[in-house]
Structures are given as C-alpha cells and as structure tokens.
Amino acid sequence: MGIKELMISFIFTTFLLSLLFIPSVLPFSIFQSSNHSNSSGRPEKPYPVSFAYLISASKGDVNRLKRTLTAIYHPANYYLLHLDLEATPEERHLLTQFVSDHPTFSLIGNVWIVHKSNLVTYRGPSMLSTTLHGLSILLRRCQWDWFINLSASDYPLITQDDLITAFSNLPRDLSFVEHTSHLGWKIRKRARPIIIDPALYSLNKSEIIRSTQKRSLPTAFKLYTGSAWTVLSRSFAEYCVLGWDNLPRTLLLYYTNFISSPEGYFQTVICNSNYYKNTTVNHDLHYIMWDNPPKQHPLTLGMKDYRRMILSSAAFARKFKKNDPVLDKIDRELLRRKNEQFTYGGWCSDGEITRCSDGQSKGRTGVLKPGAGFRRLRALLTKLLSSRNFNKRQCR
C-alpha cells in the first residue's frame, strides 16, 4: 500500500472514531434493554457504590458470556453486553432471549445488549472503539462509580458483595490502570509500525493492514503500556469520552494506527493528564499468567492455578477455557454458586440460605454480606494504596 492510500484510509478511519465523542449520536435505540422503564425508577442509591460492566464476546462465546454475566450479576450494578458482529444471528437471538426472558433481569432492568454491534479485529483499534462505545452508552444511561471491562473468558474470584464493600470507602476518583513507560520490545513491535484496522470501515473481517512505513516515537506526549483490563473512575471515563482538553481525542487519533491499542490508550491518556496522573493505582485487579518472555496471549488457567489465583487476592482472573473444571471449583468454593444460580449475596439470600435463587428476595435490597473475598481484596487494596506503594508506582 502506498503512502497516499495509507493517508486516505487513516483520515477516513479517524473520522469514524471521532464520532464516538458526540453524545447526541448515541440514542438509546442503538441497544436493547431487558426493561424499557427509565432507570430513575430504581431505588435511590441503596448500595454504597456501583459498577458498570462492559462484557465483550465473540462468535461461539454466548454460553461463556451468559455464565460470566450470571456470576458477576448484582442489582447494584449495570451490565452492557457486546457480541461481536461476526457472531451468527442465531447466537444473537439466543443472547437476546436469555436477557429478555430472565425474570430478575426484567425486574431490575440493569442488563442491556448493544444492538448495533461492532466488528472487532484482534490487535486492532476496533477493540478500543468498542470499549469507548460501551463507555459512552453507560455514561448516558445510568449512574455508577467505576467502569470495568471484561471478556467472556474472564471470571470473578470474589462476590459482588465483596467487591462493593471493598470499594465503598475508596476515593471515587481512583482508577486501576496497570501502566509502565518502559516499552521495551513494544517500541519495535507496537509503537513504530503503522497499521490500519479494516473493521473500522468494512463489514468483512480481515487481518490488520501493515504499512511498510515506520514512524518515530512521539515528542508531544509520552507513551505508556500495560493491561487492556481496567477499572476506571466515572470522572476519568467522562474525560476519555468528552475530551474537554483534547488530549484523549488526540491520543485516540494516534492510537488508531497502533497495534494492540487497548494496551496503551488509557495508560497514555491518564499518565499524560496533569489532572488524572496521580489518581492511578498501578494494578488491573486481574490474575493473569504469561509465558516468560510474554507471548501475544496469556496462558490458559486451570486447576493447577487455583491456589495462586486465591493468593493473588485479585477480583478477576483470565483466561479460562469454556466450562473448565476450575470454574466449577470457583463457583463452589469462592462464589457459593451452583446450577446456574447467581453468586451469593445479601440481595438474594434469606436467613440461613447460602445460595442465591433466580429472584430478588423481598426486603433484601441494600443488604450486603461480604465474606473471605472481601478480606482478600481489602488486604490487596490496603497494600496498593499504602503511601510506600501508591506514590512509588505513580506515572513516571
């Protein structure tokens, strides 16, 4: 591809991405809700904090998506499901039917499906545009304190009661973003190459297009890299979508042609912002195992990793195979969940009942029953937020 054609494609794709930042082009009709009533009809802040989840899935992942959603479901939170455009109409119908027919989802009205799905290219910026798309919808649709992005191959290691209780006393402007300015091999493999993601302008899925041209490292801002999985404060999420000082928008245009941009965009935005750079906790709250040296994909977790997952005190882990036996062990021993029921929580258990059935128990709204997962996560947060660790691990 010549440089002229490359620049034409670059201008076109960046124009498409810039549309993400115009709130008026995000009407509610672009996603489907399990309950069409206004969210203002829900009780006013019965829980101390709430989370907005974006769970992304691809073709063949519907059952995994359903399992992850049920495992992290809680009436305090909000859930937006994105099924890649490559998924079949039958898969989309199954997911839609699951959400619309579920009695609890219909009662609470906090689970939605992105109706106009995006085509996502692995390692392309279309994955980042999908995350920003989800952020825009969730910011406009409901009130929450933190945003969490997951995939269907992620799974929780603690209950939502544990998570809500652990975060209840944290400053609301903290964001959990793993970051480093030491790019190492990523300078040659990620920062210098120029690519185009066909998913930004084509309905046919294909690999990213690589230019023969290379670019120098930027001088207007400093590059950072880290995990694609984050926990973002609502304030920082609004900053990324609205971009009132233009830094998020400028960096989005830069990362449009960057390989694996989800591993660098939020890190570079937050660490180059004078306002937000000191609000980062350098951790993604995930347990992830990598080869040494790291390869493109993390290692698949199994029974042999169960003890290390618990000792990590992380809230989530990835990635898992479909229906791996270790997921049943996590359900049984950490989440107190079985037979596709919800994870244990005060909102859906009465008295001595230690399992959550498919419905909200009357009069239990606002009740939290944290357990061992809360104590593990609280210990991790205390360590991360200690003056010795927090200040030392800020953006450098």
pLDDT at 42: 47
- CA 15 to CA 72: how far, in whole Å? 36
Residue 30: pLDDT above 60?
no
Q: 18 lies in a domain?
A: no
Residue 353: pLDDT above 60?
no
Q: pLDDT digits over 212-268, tens only?
A: 899 999 999 999 999 999 999 999 999 999 988 999 999 999 999 999 999 999 999
pLDDT at 20: 43
Q: 37 lies in a domain?
A: no
Residue 292: pLDDT above 80?
no
Question: How do beta strands 209-214 and 316-317 pair?
Answer: unpaired
pLDDT at 31: 36
- CA R_g for the chain: 21
| Cβ within 8 Å of residue 225, ≥6 positions away | 179, 180, 183, 186, 190, 263, 264, 267
Q: pLDDT digits over 83-107, tens only?
A: 999 999 999 999 999 999 999 999 9
Beta strands in 190-331 (DSSP E): 193-196, 209-214, 231-233, 280-281, 286-287, 316-317
Number of domains in the chain: 1
Residue 38: pLDDT above 80?
no
Question: What is each CA distance from 345 to 261, 370, 373, in whole angstroms?
Answer: 36, 8, 12
pLDDT at 16: 44
Q: 308 lies in a domain?
A: yes
Q: pLDDT digits over 123-172, tens only?
A: 889 999 999 999 999 999 999 999 999 999 999 999 999 999 999 999 99
Q: 168 lies in a domain?
A: yes
Q: 151 lies in a domain?
A: yes
Question: What is each CA distance from 317 to 51, 54, 78, 204, in whole angstroms?
Answer: 18, 16, 20, 32
Average pLDDT over residues 351-373: 74
pLDDT at 131: 96
Q: 134 lies in a domain?
A: yes
Give residue 186's domain range: 51-393
Helix (H, G, I), strand (E, B) or coil at 57: strand
Q: 62 lies in a domain?
A: yes
* 59: CATH: 3.90.550
Q: Is the pTM of this model over 0.85?
A: yes
pLDDT at 203: 84
pLDDT at 208: 87
Question: How do beta strands 155-156 and 316-317 pair?
Answer: antiparallel
Confidence category of residue 349, pLDDT binned at 50, 70, 90 = confident
One-letter amino acid at 71 equals A
- CA 56 to CA 134: how far, in whole Å? 10
Q: 91 lies in a domain?
A: yes
